Amino acid sequence: MSDDGANGETGGDHQLRVSKIRSGTVIDHVRGGQALNVLAILGIDGSEGEELSIGMNVPSDRLARKDIVKVEGRELSQDEVDVLSLIAPESTINIVRDYDVIEKHRVDRPELVEGVLSCPNSGCITTGDEPVTSTFDVLEDGVRCAYCETIVRTGIASLIDT
């Protein structure tokens, strides 16, 4: 099975697993089982009536199993892509307009992320009354608070500032 169809199509005689979207963002090649964390990062919980499609643990040539998230009518901001790269570093972002992929790129992990994560250390200066913006250095296997040096390797999605 081929991963060519960034808008949900698969190669050959295989069926369409996740329906096409008219305009919006397709997040493809997400490690299997991470789609719900992707939704958490994007702040999508269904309360705003977002139209989305999710494929979980579908076959993939590149990852063996992958998740796909399609969000109709929304293009991701760079901050959202940066945080997404922390939990889905192999993912591909596809911008779709009028059912055609007009832009496709792999996520790049930034060296640091600012103002998008909360430090889990209650003693960190960023969690107090001081107006200090959180800053995290991006590591190979997690993130490190630039102020208190707390390292987080799991549960990064739960630290997202909303």
124 annotated to bind ligand: yes
What are the φ and ψ backbone dihedral angles of 69, each rounded to 5 degrees?
Answer: -125, 130
3-state secondary structure of 142: strand
77 annotated to bind ligand: no
> pTM above the 0.85 mark?
no
Has residue 104 got a pLDDT over 90?
Answer: yes
- The residues pairing with 66 across neighbouring beta strands, listed in sequence order, are 31, 58
Which tokens belong to 82?
Answer: 């940066």
5 annotated to bind ligand: no
pLDDT value of position 50:
77
Which tokens belong to 31?
Answer: 């490690």
Which tokens belong to 59?
Answer: 């076959």
Domains of the chain and any CATH numbers: 24-106 (3.30.70.140), 112-159 (2.30.30.20)
pLDDT tens for each residue of 109-147: 889 989 888 999 999 999 888 789 999 999 988 899 999
40 annotated to bind ligand: no
As a whole number of angstroms, the distance between CA 150 and CA 3 comes to 38
Sign of CA dihedral 88, 103, 76, 121: positive
What percent of the chain lies above the pLDDT cut of 70?
88
